């Protein structure tokens, strides 16, 4: 899907961390939420987006 370097750089540009996420990034968030330490956490929305939703204007889903 995102084969060439130019396309990858364009896709990562609006992300605050400057890179695309990996499956490990999502797995890390899931592991924390599944842990005993997060037993009292109730989350309506957990953005695992490298800060993209924090830097873009307007509503985010």
State the pLDDT at residue 58: 60
Distance of CA 10 to the CA centre of its chain: 16
Q: Model confidence over 6-59: pLDDT tens digits?
A: 787 888 888 888 888 999 999 999 999 899 999 998 877 788 999 888 876 666
State the pLDDT at residue 3: 63
Quickly list H helices, the chain: 5-12, 23-34, 52-55
State the pLDDT at residue 13: 84
State the pLDDT at residue 37: 92
State the pLDDT at residue 57: 66
């Amino acid at each position: 899907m995102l084969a060439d370097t130019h396309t990858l750089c364009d896709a990562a540009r609006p992300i605050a961390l400057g890179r695309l996420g990996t499956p490990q990034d999502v797995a890390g968030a899931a592991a924390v939420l599944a842990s005993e330490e997060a037993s009292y956490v109730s989350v309506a929305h957990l953005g695992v987006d490298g800060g993209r939703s924090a830097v873009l204007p307007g509503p985010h889903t």
